[in-house]
Copies of this chain bind each other. A is one copy, B any other.
């Protein structure tokens, strides 16, 4: 039987991808709630998915016993409460990142998962949808670069000031920069190292260029160093992608091992090869380029199977909570100074 999902919360445009990936993974969209703080996304959703049932009554979707999954890209600070409501009504939840923006919400969601036995999953798209990241992990696990020494991630994002809703500019509604866009790198680090623990060695949040934003305290630069028993990780995330770049950010990852290293150029290869998802592997034998664009990642298909079989192959519940917890810990550390 085809699994059915509802979309409740179309405040961030990430909802397009989440919906499409789930449909591609074989799920059926039973309907989407058309109330939003973001008219751009309402229009975009209608244009992209003209055949999906538009629903004005949120309760109809929450009440529908034939719907097993709620997908949400609501205002980040409202995702936890929505998820808890959905889980209590028998539904699993797939949230856009960040799924959780406060310690209290994390505790409440953890309690709701324990109570309802439903799944609360955050789609960390930077890894879930990146064939280059998937290939890098395969190479590391196969020993292509020896033991892990360090990882370094750089995640620049274009600000797109004109199309951002009000809640984007406030860390209380959008989540801090470490939680909002830092969570991707924490997810990648834990996934690559196969761990759910890490020490926050360093964390900083800055508001460098208030002249570019409607508020003075927008967090436009974040950095972290995490460490666990496998390796150390340096993470940078920020909102300084210039207009002259051909994509929304020149996302990179450098993975160093005792016997080699991998560079990922996820979005693009500056004035080089076409497209994205480029992987460069150098070890004691050679330097090799591996084109990963178009390669299947399979995480959303694995997630669909997990929903059906009650397994945890795409991502364990504890991994998901570990990412959320570490991001909040890093934020606390950064704000403490």
Residues of A within 8 A of B (CB): 145-147, 149-150, 152, 154, 156, 201-202, 204, 206, 208-209, 212, 221, 223, 225, 232, 234, 236, 238, 240, 242-246, 250, 254, 256-261, 263, 270-272, 280, 282-289
Separation of A258 and B240 alpha carbons in the complex (Å): 6
Closest 6 CB pairs of A and B: A243-B284, A242-B260, A202-B202, A244-B286, A209-B258, A270-B280
**Shortest Cβ distance from residue A181 to the other chain B in the assembled complex, whole angstroms:** 15
Assess the A284–B244 pair: CB atoms within 8 A: yes
Assess the A257–B240 pair: CB atoms within 8 A: yes
**A225-B202 contact given A209-B149, A209-B258, A212-B258, CB 8 Å threshold:** yes
B residues near A221, Cβ cutoff 8 Å: 149-150, 232
B residues near A212, Cβ cutoff 8 Å: 258
Assess the A147–B209 pair: CB atoms within 8 A: yes
Assess the A282–B270 pair: CB atoms within 8 A: yes
Separation of A242 and B240 alpha carbons in the complex (Å): 33
Copies of this chain present in the complex amount to 2
**A287-B209 contact given A254-B154, A257-B240, A270-B282, CB 8 Å threshold:** no
**A238-B256 contact given A149-B221, A154-B152, A287-B270, CB 8 Å threshold:** yes
**Shortest Cβ distance from residue A250 to the other chain B in the assembled complex, whole angstroms:** 7
Assess the B149–A258 pair: CB atoms within 8 A: no
B residues near A250, Cβ cutoff 8 Å: 261, 282
Assess the A244–B282 pair: CB atoms within 8 A: yes
Assess the A242–B283 pair: CB atoms within 8 A: yes
Separation of A154 and B236 alpha carbons in the complex (Å): 14
Assess the A204–B206 pair: CB atoms within 8 A: no
**Shortest Cβ distance from residue A115 to the other chain B in the assembled complex, whole angstroms:** 40
**A244-B285 contact given A147-B209, A208-B149, A238-B149, CB 8 Å threshold:** yes
Assess the A260–B244 pair: CB atoms within 8 A: yes
B residues near A272, Cβ cutoff 8 Å: 272
B residues near A287, Cβ cutoff 8 Å: 244-246, 270-271
Separation of A258 and B241 alpha carbons in the complex (Å): 9
**Shortest Cβ distance from residue A22 to the other chain B in the assembled complex, whole angstroms:** 34
B residues near A147, Cβ cutoff 8 Å: 208-209
**Shortest Cβ distance from residue A189 to the other chain B in the assembled complex, whole angstroms:** 15
Assess the B261–A289 pair: CB atoms within 8 A: no
